[in-house]
Structure 1
Amino acid sequence: MTRDGQPDHPVTIELDRPPPAPPARPRRRRRWAAPVLAAGCLLLGAAAPPGRSAAVTGPVLPAGAVLLAAGELFLVADPSTLTAYGPDGRARWRAPAPAGAWAAASVAGLVLVTERDDARQVTGTTAYAADTGQRRWRRPDRVQPAGAAAVAVTEVRSVADPGQRVQGAVRGVDPATGADRWSVPVPSTAVLVTAPGRIVVVHDSGLTRVHDVGHGAAVAETRLPPAGYAPDNPLVVGGHLVLRHPAPGGTALTGYDLPALTPRWRRLLPVGEAPAPGCPQVLCLAGVTDRRALDPATGTPAWRWPGGAGWQPVPGDPDPTRQVLLRPGGDGRTLAVAVGRDGPHPGGTLPAGTRDCHLAADALACRGPDGRLTVRPVTGT
C-alpha cells in the first residue's frame, strides 16, 4: 500500500547501516470489493504507482548463485556457501552449500534443500536446522513437506515438475533423523499431491488413494474420471481436491472433499480458461484476459479480476496466506500485486532490472538491478 508524502522512488537501506525507526504514522488500507472487481479499481492494470516501501539491500549475488525461499527464510546457494536470510534481509546463518541446489522447503524446524545434477536428475535432499543451519541428515531422493510431516519420492522426469510424478514408492520420513517411517508401493507411475496430514496418490488408471502421513495407511479410495493426470492435475486447494477432466460440452472441474474423496460440485470451464497458480486458499482460473477464483469447497465464484490473466506468481510457500504476482510494465519496471483469499490488492512497482524474485513470509527477495540481493516487504512492494 502507498502512503502520502513518501518519495516516488524506492528507499534503499544498506544492511550494515540500519535506519533509525521512523515515527509512527496512521496506516491507510484499501480493499477491493469481492466477488466482482471493477476494472477502474485495478490501478495496476494500467499505470501502477511507484513502489514506496523501504528496500534492504545485501551483497552482490554471484552470477551462478541460486536464490530460493523456504518458510520464512531466503536461501542463497553459491558454489561453496549456503546463506540464509530473514525477511528483514539480514543473514541468519551460513553453511557449506550442497552441490546443485535446485529447490527448498520448510518443515518441522528444518530447511530441506533438494539438489539436481547437470542432467536435471534429483541427486538428493539435505536437511538443515532452520535456526542455526546445522546439517542434520541427507537422503538420495527428493523429500517434500506434507503439512507438518515429510515424504520422500523417487521421481519420474517431467518437463512440468518432476517431483510430483512418482514411481517405486512413497515413503514417510522422520524429520528428526531422515529415516523411513513407512512405505507405500507405487507399481507404475502416479501423480502425488500433498495436503496437511495427507498425501493423495493418483495412479494412471484413475485409482486414487488418500494416505495418512503419520503411518501411511490408506484412509480413502475412489476412481477419478479419465483425465490428463499431471503434476498440476489434480490440485489440492484449501483442503479440497479439484480435478480438471473432459465432460459433455467441454472441460469440467470437479471438487472432492478430503480425506473422504466425496464429489461435491462440478462446473464447466469456459473455452480458454484453466486453473492457474497464484491464489491462496481459493481455486484460481485464468482465461484469455481475466482471472477469477472459485471457492474450492462449493465451486461458487469468489471474485473476478478483469485483466488479471497475464500476471505471473512469485515462487514461495506452496500454501501461503497471500501471493504476489508480477507483470512487466511499459517503462521497464515490474508491476506487482498482492493476492489474498478476497482477491487482488493494489501493490507497487519494482525497479527496472529486478529479476529472480521469491516470496517468504511477508517479504519479497529479488536480484536488484545492480545484482544485489534486495528484500522488501510485500505490503506496498
Structure 2
Amino acid sequence: MALLLAACALLGGAAAPVRLSAWVGPPVSGDATLLGAGPLLLGAGPLLLVVDPPTLSAYDVAAPHRAPPWRVAVPPAAGWSAEAAGDVLLLTERDQVRQAVATTARSMRTGAALWRRPERVYAVGEAAVAVSEVRSAAEPGRRVEGLVRGVDPATGGTRWTVRLPSTAVLEVLPGRPARVLLVQDDGLTRLLDARDGTVHGQGRLPPADYGPDNPQAVGAYLVLRHPTATGAALTGYDLPGLAPRWEVPVQRGELTLRACQGLVCAQDEHGRRALDPASGVIRWTWPAGARWHTVAGTRAATDALVLLRTAADGRRTLVATAGRDGPRVRGPLPAGVTDCRRAGSGLACRESASRVTVWPLGAP
C-alpha cells in the first residue's frame, strides 16, 4: 500500500497503478542482447530479437513464449542495433566503442539475408539511408560525415548521394513522403526526400549543440534548443520551409528533448514537461519526472515514452508512460528486472538471469 500511495503522490493524485500482466518469454544467456523491431506490414506485429552469437532469434512480441518464427546465424560483434524499413530488418553490428561496423538487411518474415553494407543504415519509413558515423567513444548518435546515400531497402543499391563538406546531424522524419533532415555544423539545414534525394526545404538554423536529440522533429514542426544572448531557448520552426514560429526561454544546463505522441517532451534536473510543437505552449508538467529514465528502443513520434524508476521499497521497478495526456504510472515490475527495452507497445526485460518477460502496456 505504501508503494501505491507513493506512486500516486508522484503524479499528483493520478489513479493508482495496478499489477501489470506479463507474458513469459524465451530463455536467454547472460551474453544475449535484446532488441525490438517493427511493426511489420500487412497486419503482422513487431518482433522481439534475441542476439546471442552465433544466433539471432526472432520472437512475436504478442506471443514470446512460442517458438521463434525464424532463427539465423550472425557474426560476432560487441553491440547491435535494429530497425525496420517496411518489411526489411536492418541489423547493425557495432564495435567496442559503439561505432557501426556494417548493416545487414534481412527479411522480417523469414530472416533471410538480403544484402549487406559497410555502413550504418537508418530506416526512414519504408526507405533507408546509409551514413558514415563520426567516430566518438562518447556518443556516435546521429552525427555523420562524408557521404549520405539513399538506399533501396529491397536490393541495398544506392539511389542518390549527398556529399557533406564537414560533419552534420541526421534527423529521420518518417511519414509520407519519408524525409531526412541534415543539419550541417554551419547551420545550413536541408530537408531531403529519402526516396530520391529531392530537396523539399532549406534554411539556416542558429548555432546550437546539435546532437542525437537536438533538433527534434515532430509532425510538421522542428524544435531546436540553442543558446541566446541572455541564456538559452527553444525555438519552433515550420517544415519544410524552416520559418521560425515561436521561441521560449529555458534555463541553461542539460535539457533532453524527445517526441511523445505529437508533443515535444523535455527533461531537465527540475522535472519533465511537454510542449506543443506548433506553438510552444506547455501542455503538462511533471516535477517528479526528473527521477524517471526513458527506456531505450525504436519507436514512432506518435508513441508515448516508457519510463522506469526504482520503487519506494528499493527492490521493485515502477513503469510509467508519458504522452499527450500527461504521465501515468502503470504499475510495478517484480524485483530483479534488468536490461529493459521497448518491443512494440510492450516492455521486454530480463526478469531473471536466464529468461525474458514482456509486459504489454497498450494505450497510455
After TM superposition, is the score higher than 0.5?
yes
Three-state SS of the structure 2 residue aligned to 1:40 is coil
What is the aligned partner in structure 1 of residue 293 from structure 2?
312
Indicate if the aligned counterparts of 2:213 and 2:257 stay in contact, CA closer than 8 A: no
What is the aligned partner in structure 2 of residue 143 from structure 1?
121
For residues 354 and 155 of structure 1, do their structure 2 counterparts lie closer, same or farther at Cα, with a shift above 3 Å needed?
A: same
**Among residues 54, 57, 64, which one is paired with 1:83 in the alignment?**
57
For residues 220 and 380 of structure 1, do their structure 2 counterparts lie closer, same or farther at Cα, with a shift above 3 Å needed?
A: closer
What is the aligned partner in structure 1 of residue 32 from structure 2?
65
**Among residues 322, 327, 330, which one is paired with 2:312 in the alignment?**
330
**Superposition CA RMSD, Å:** 2.4
Indicate if the aligned counterparts of 1:195 and 1:239 stay in contact, CA closer than 8 A: no
1:122 maps to 2:122: no
CA-CA distance at 1:322 after TM superposition: 2.0
1:179-258 aligned within 5 A: 179-196=157-174, 197-258=178-239
Size of the aligned set, in residue pairs, is 342
Indicate if the aligned counterparts of 1:144 and 1:152 stay in contact, CA closer than 8 A: yes
Name stretches of at least 5 consecutive residues in structure 2 with no aligned partner. 39-45
What is the aligned partner in structure 2 of residue 15 from structure 1?
none
- Alpha-carbon separation, structure 2, partners of 1:160 and 1:294: 29
Amino acid at match of 1:247: T
- Alpha-carbon separation, structure 2, partners of 1:51 and 1:374: 14
**Among residues 6, 9, 12, which one is paired with 1:40 in the alignment?**
12
Three-state SS of the structure 2 residue aligned to 1:309 is helix
Three-state SS of the structure 1 residue aligned to 2:89 is strand
Q: TM-score, normalised by structure 1?
A: 0.84
Q: Which has the higher contact order (CA 8 A, sep 6+)?
A: 1
Q: TM-score, normalised by structure 2?
A: 0.87
1:54-96 CA-partner distances (Å, limit 9, x unpaired): x222333111111111111111000111011112213221111
Three-state SS of the structure 1 residue aligned to 2:69 is strand
- Alpha-carbon separation, structure 2, partners of 1:97 and 1:324: 30
- Alpha-carbon separation, structure 2, partners of 1:237 and 1:160: 26
**Among residues 322, 339, 347, which one is paired with 1:356 in the alignment?**
339
Stretch moving more, 226-235 or 179-188: 226-235
- Alpha-carbon separation, structure 1, partners of 2:138 and 2:172: 17
**Among residues 130, 138, 153, which one is paired with 2:131 in the alignment?**
153
Indicate if the aligned counterparts of 1:98 and 1:126 stay in contact, CA closer than 8 A: no
- Alpha-carbon separation, structure 2, partners of 1:357 and 1:226: 35
For residues 58 and 38 of structure 1, do their structure 2 counterparts lie closer, same or farther at Cα, with a shift above 3 Å needed?
A: closer
CA-CA distance at 1:184 after TM superposition: 0.6
- Alpha-carbon separation, structure 1, partners of 2:33 and 2:186: 38
- Alpha-carbon separation, structure 2, partners of 1:322 and 1:154: 30
**Among residues 362, 365, 369, which one is paired with 2:352 in the alignment?**
369
CA-CA distance at 1:147 after TM superposition: 2.3
Stretch moving more, 113-122 or 65-74: 113-122
